[in-house]
C-alpha cells in the first residue's frame, strides 16, 4: 500500500523529477565542455609539536619565553591559523603576482580555501587542510597554469618557515624583556627584604635567640634569688618591729599605740616612702644599664640613703612627741624602731621593683619564639628571592643565546609535486552519470517535499479520511465546458456521471428532486458537471431544470448556445412568474433558468423569499432540478442556494481543494441544514 502511494507521488510530480535530472545533466555537460582547465599541485609539511615550547627557561612563569602563538591544547588550529595568516598568504600573492580581472591583487578571503567557482573567477587559490590524526598539513595550489599551481605551495611553505622564525625571535625578545624587568623587580625586593631583616633584628634586639634565651633565664634566676634575699630582709625588719612592740612597752602599751598612730598618720613620712620607692626603681634601671661606679648610680644611692635618714628622723620625732623624760634606753629603742621601719620601707619598695623586673624578663622570654619565627620568615623570603635572582640571571643568558637560533619546527614531508588537471576531470563520463543520478535524486527529494507541503486533496481516500464521506464518482477531468452541450459528451466522463446519477437519486431519495453543485474554487468543474449531469438525466426521459445560480460569472447559457431575455436575477428583482424565465434547449426534457442580467449585490437577491418560491415551483414542475453555484471561496452564495435545494453534490478537485477546507465545507453544509448527496472526485487518472 505504501509503495503504491509513493509511486502515485512520483507520477504526480514526474515532470519536476525529469526536469531536475535534465537540467542538472545539461548544466554539468556545458560546465565540462566550456570551462578552461585548472591545475593543482600538492605539498605536505609536518610540525614538531614537542619543540614548540622552550625548555631552557625554568625559573620564571611558564608563559615567558614560550611560543605564545601556539596553544598546546589547540595546536592544529593555531598552526593552521599561522599558515593562513597575512604574512604568509599575502606575501605569496604578491611574490607570484596573483591578480584578479581588474588587475588588483587577490584578497586573502578569495584565495584561501576557495570554492571551485571562486577558483574559476579569480584564477588561483590555495587549500590548507590538516591530515586526520596527525600533525601534518596538506597545501594544494590551484591555478590556470601549471607553473603557478606549483609555485603557490612553494611560496606558502617558504613564507611559513620565515614567519615561524620571525615569530620565535619575537617571542624570545619579549621573553628577554620580561626577564630583565622581572630581574630588576626581584633585585629591588631582595634589597628591601634584607633591610627588613636587619631592621627587625635591631628593633627586636634579636641576634642569637639561643644565647638570648639562656641569658634571660639566668637574669630571671638572679632576680628571683635577690627577691628571696630581700624577702628575708623584709621579714627580719618586721620581726624587729614586732619585738619592739611586744617587749619594749610592756609597762605602757597605750603610749606605743599612740606613737604608731602618729607615725601612720604622718603625711611627710608617707611622702618619704613614695620617694624611696621611686628612687629604688630608678636605681634598678640604672644598675641594669650602667656600672656601680657610674655617677648616676652613686647619686641615686646617696639620695636613697638621705631619704632613709629622713624616715629615721621622722620616726624619732614621733617617739619624742609622745614620751616625756627621755633616757638612753628610750633613745636606743627609738633608734632601733626607726632603723627597722626604714629598712622595711626600703625592702618593700625593692620587692615591688624586683617583682616587676622578673615579670618583664619573663615577658621578654615569652616573646622570643614569636620574634624568632618572624625573623625566620624574613630570612627564608630573603633566601628565596636570592635563589630566584640567580635563576633569572641564568635564564637571561639562555634567552640571549636563543635569539640567535633559527627554530622553525617545520619539516617539509613532500615538496610540491608536478601539477595535474583539477577540473574538468579526465573521466567526464563518470561525472555526467553522477550528475544525472544526482539530478534524479534532487528531483525525487523536491517531489516528496512539495507533496508533503502541498495541503490539498490528492486521492479519493483522502476525501473519505478527511470528510468521512464515500466518493460518489471519480471523474477523469472536468475543468472547461465544451463549445456546445448539444452534441453529447466523452464516453468515460459520461460513464462516471451515470454512477453519480445512480448514487444520488436512489429509490429512497427520489423525493429530494433538487440538488446543488458546489466546490471550493473556480475551475473545479462545477458548471461542467452540472451541465453534463442535466444532459444525462434528460436523456433518460426525465424532465430536468438546470438553474444557473452563479450570478457573478454565469456560463450555462453559453454552454447550451441559447439566448434568453430573462433569467434568475430578473425573476428575483421583479414580480415575474417562473414560466417567464424558463428557456428551452434543443435537448428534449432539458430546460434552463439562466443567470439573467448582471447584478451588483447578487447575495441580497438570493436571500429574498422569491428564490425559495422559484425552487418550489421548479420542483413541482420538473422531475429533477440541478442548481449550478459560484465557488464557496467567492462568498456564501453557494450555501444560500444549497439551503433552498436541501441537498448538495460536492466536487473535490485533485491537487486544488485544500484539505483544511474540505471538512469545513461539510460542517458548513450541515449547519445550514443541507445534506451531502455525494462527493465527486475530479481529476483522477482513469484508464481508457
Q: Is the dihedral of CA 586, 591, 597, 600 positive or negative?
A: negative
Report which of 131, 137, 123, 141 is spatially closest to residue 42, judged by C-alpha positions: 141
Q: Which three cell numbers stand for residue 423?
A: 577540473
- CA 251 → CA 149, 243, 330, 665, distances in Å? 142, 14, 13, 149
A 10 A CB-CB count for 382 gives 19
Residue 75's pLDDT is what? Answer: 64
Q: Which three cell numbers stand for residue 354?
A: 624586683
Contacts of residue 191, Cβ cutoff 8 Å, sequence gap at least 6: none
Report which of 506, 526, 508 is spatially closest to residue 516, judged by C-alpha positions: 526
For cell 634571660, name the residue: 216
Contacts of residue 435, Cβ cutoff 8 Å, sequence gap at least 6: 24, 25, 27, 28, 29
Contacts of residue 339, Cβ cutoff 8 Å, sequence gap at least 6: 312
The answer to whether 97 and 155 are in contact (CB under 8 A) is no
Identify the helix (H) or strand (E) that includes residue 637.
helix 637-645
Task: Dump pLDDT digits (tens) for 475-513.
Answer: 776 445 454 454 455 555 666 677 677 666 654 455 678
Contacts of residue 594, Cβ cutoff 8 Å, sequence gap at least 6: 548, 554, 556, 557, 562, 564, 567, 568, 581, 583
The answer to whether 160 and 144 are in contact (CB under 8 A) is no
3-class state of residue 569 by DSSP:
helix
Least confident stretch, 19-23, 100-104, 430-434, 535-539: 430-434
User: What confidence category does residue 56 fall into, taking pLDDT thresholds of 50, 70 and 90?
Assistant: very low
Tell me what percent of the residues of the chain surpass a pLDDT of 70.
Answer: 78
User: What confidence category does residue 68 fall into, taking pLDDT thresholds of 50, 70 and 90?
Assistant: very low
Question: What is the value of pTM for the model shown?
Answer: 0.45
Identify the helix (H) or strand (E) that includes residue 385.
helix 328-402
Residue 43's pLDDT is what? Answer: 92
Does residue 201 register a pLDDT over 50? yes
Report which of 84, 110, 106 is spatially closest to residue 95, judged by C-alpha positions: 106
The answer to whether 16 and 446 are in contact (CB under 8 A) is yes
For cell 614560550, name the residue: 66
Task: Dump pLDDT digits (tens) for 210-267.
Answer: 777 787 788 788 878 877 887 887 777 777 767 776 655 545 566 666 666 767 677 7
Residue 544's pLDDT is what? Answer: 92
Report which of 381, 462, 465, 511 is spatially closest to residue 656, judged by C-alpha positions: 462
Maximum CA extent, the chain: 189
The answer to whether 597 and 620 are in contact (CB under 8 A) is no
Give one DSSP letter per residue of 144-201, joined into a string: SSHHHHHHHHHHHHHHHHHHHHHHHHHHHHHHHHHHHHHHHHHHHHHHHHHHHHHHHH
Does residue 328 register a pLDDT over 90? no
Residue 545's pLDDT is what? Answer: 93
Task: Dump pLDDT digits (tens) for 147-188.
Answer: 888 999 999 888 888 887 777 777 778 888 888 888 888 888
Least confident stretch, 241-250, 274-283, 417-426, 440-449: 241-250
Residue 555's pLDDT is what? Answer: 86
Residue 507's pLDDT is what? Answer: 43
Does residue 91 register a pLDDT over 80? yes
Amino acid at each position: 500500500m505504501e509503495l503504491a502511494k509513493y509511486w502515485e507521488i512520483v507520477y504526480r510530480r514526474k515532470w519536476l523529477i525529469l526536469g531536475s535530472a535534465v537540467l542538472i545533466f545539461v548544466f554539468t555537460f556545458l560546465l565540462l565542455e566550456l570551462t578552461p582547465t585548472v591545475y593543482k599541485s600538492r605539498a605536505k609539511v609536518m610540525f614538531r609539536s614537542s619543540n614548540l615550547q622552550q625548555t631552557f627557561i625554568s625559573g620564571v612563569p611558564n608563559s615567558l619565553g614560550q611560543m605564545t602563538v601556539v596553544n598546546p591544547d589547540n595546536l592544529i588550529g593555531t598552526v593552521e591559523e599561522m599558515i593562513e595568516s597575512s604574512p604568509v598568504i599575502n606575501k605569496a600573492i604578491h611574490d607570484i603576482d596573483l591578480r584578479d580581472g581588474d588587475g588588483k591583487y587577490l584578497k586573502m578571503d578569495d584565495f584561501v580555501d576557495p570554492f571551485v567557482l571562486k577558483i574559476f573567477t579569480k584564477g588561483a587559490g590555495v587549500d590548507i587542510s590538516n591530515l586526520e590524526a596527525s600533525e601534518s598539513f596538506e597545501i594544494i595550489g590551484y591555478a590556470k597554469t601549471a607553473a603557478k599551481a606549483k609555485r603557490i605551495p612553494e611560496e606558502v611553505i617558504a613564507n611559513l618557515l620565515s614567519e615561524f622564525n620571525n615569530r620565535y625571535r619575537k617571542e624570545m625578545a619579549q621573553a628577554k624583556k620580561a626577564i630583565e624587568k622581572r630581574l630588576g623587580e626581584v633585585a629591588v625586593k631582595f634589597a628591601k627584604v634584607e633591610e627588613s631583616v636587619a631592621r627587625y633584628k635591631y628593633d627586636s634586639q634579636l641576634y642569637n635567640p639561643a644565647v638570648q634565651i639562656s641569658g634571660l633565664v639566668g637574669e630571671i634566676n638572679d632576680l628571683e634569688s635577690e627577691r628571696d634575699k630581700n624577702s628575708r630582709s623584709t621579714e627580719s625588719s618586721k620581726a624587729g618591729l614586732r619585738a619592739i612592740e611586744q617587749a619594749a612597752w610592756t609597762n605602757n602599751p597605750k603610749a606605743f599605740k599612740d606613737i604608731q598612730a602618729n607615725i601612720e598618720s604622718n603625711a611627710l613620712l608617707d611622702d618619704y616612702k613614695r620617694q624611696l620607692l621611686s628612687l629604688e626603681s630608678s636605681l634598678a634601671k640604672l644598675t641594669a644599664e650602667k656600672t656601680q661606679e657610674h655617677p648616676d648610680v652613686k647619686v641615686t644611692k646617696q639620695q636613697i640613703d638621705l631619704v632613709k635618714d629622713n624616715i629615721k628622723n621622722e620616726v624619732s620625732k614621733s617617739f619624742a612627741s609622745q614620751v616625756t623624760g627621755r633616757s638612753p634606753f628610750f633613745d636606743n629603742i627609738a633608734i632601733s624602731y626607726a632603723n627597722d621601719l626604714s629598712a622595711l620601707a626600703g625592702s618593700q619598695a625593692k620587692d615591688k621593683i624586683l617583682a616587676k623586673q622578673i615579670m618583664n624578663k619573663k615577658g621578654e622570654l615569652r616573646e622570643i619564639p614569636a620574634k624568632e619565627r618572624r625573623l625566620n620568615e624574613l630570612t627564608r623570603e630573603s633566601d628565596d628571592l636570592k635563589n630566584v635572582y640567580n635563576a633569572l640571571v641564568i635564564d637571561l643568558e639562555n634567552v640571549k643565546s636563543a635569539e640567535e637560533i633559527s627554530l622553525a619546527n617545520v619539516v617539509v614531508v613532500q615538496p610540491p609535486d608536478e601539477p595535474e588537471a583539477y577540473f574538468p576531470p579526465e573521466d567526464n563520463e563518470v561525472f555526467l552519470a553522477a550528475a544525472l543520478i544526482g539530478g534524479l535524486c534532487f528531483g525525487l527529494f523536491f517531489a516528496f517535499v512539495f507533496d508533503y507541503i502541498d495541503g490539498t486533496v490528492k486521492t479519493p481516500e483522502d476525501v473519505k479520511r478527511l470528510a468521512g464521506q464515500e466518493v460518489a464518482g471519480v471523474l477523469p477531468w472536468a475543468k472547461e465546458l465544451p463549445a456546445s452541450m448539444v452534441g453529447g459528451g466523452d464516453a468515460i466522463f459520461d460513464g462516471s456521471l451515470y454512477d453519480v446519477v445512480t448514487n444520488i437519486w436512489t429509490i429512497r431519495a427520489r423525493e429530494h428532486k433538487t440538488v446543488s453543485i458546489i466546490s471550493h474554487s473556480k475551475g473545479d468543474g462545477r458548471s461542467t458537471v452540472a451541465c453534463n449531469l442535466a444532459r444525462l438525466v434528460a436523456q433518460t426521459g426525465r424532465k430536468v431544470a438546470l438553474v444557473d445560480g452563479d450570478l457573478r460569472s454565469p456560463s450555462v447559457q453559453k454552454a447550451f448556445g441559447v439566448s434568453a431575455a430573462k433569467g434568475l436575477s430578473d425573476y428575483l428583482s421583479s414580480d415575474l412568474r417562473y414560466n417567464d424565465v424558463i428557456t428551452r434547449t434543443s435537448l428534449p426534457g432539458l430546460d434552463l433558468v439562466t443567470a439573467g442580467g448582471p447584478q451588483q449585490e447578487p447575495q441580497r437577491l438570493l436571500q429574498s423569499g422569491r428564490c425559495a418560491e422559484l425552487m418550489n415551483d421548479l420542483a413541482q414542475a420538473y422531475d429533477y432540478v440541478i442548481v449550478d453555484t459560484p465557488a464557496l471561496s467567492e462568498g456564501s452564495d453557494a450555501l444560500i442556494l444549497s439551503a433552498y435545494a436541501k441537498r448538495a453534490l460536492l466536487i473535490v478537485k485533485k491537487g486544488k481543494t485544500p484539505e483544511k477546507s474540505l471538512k469545513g465545507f461539510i460542517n458548513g453544509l450541515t449547519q445550514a441544514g443541507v445534506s451531502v448527496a455525494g462527493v465527486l472526485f475530479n481529476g483522477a487518472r482513469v484508464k481508457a
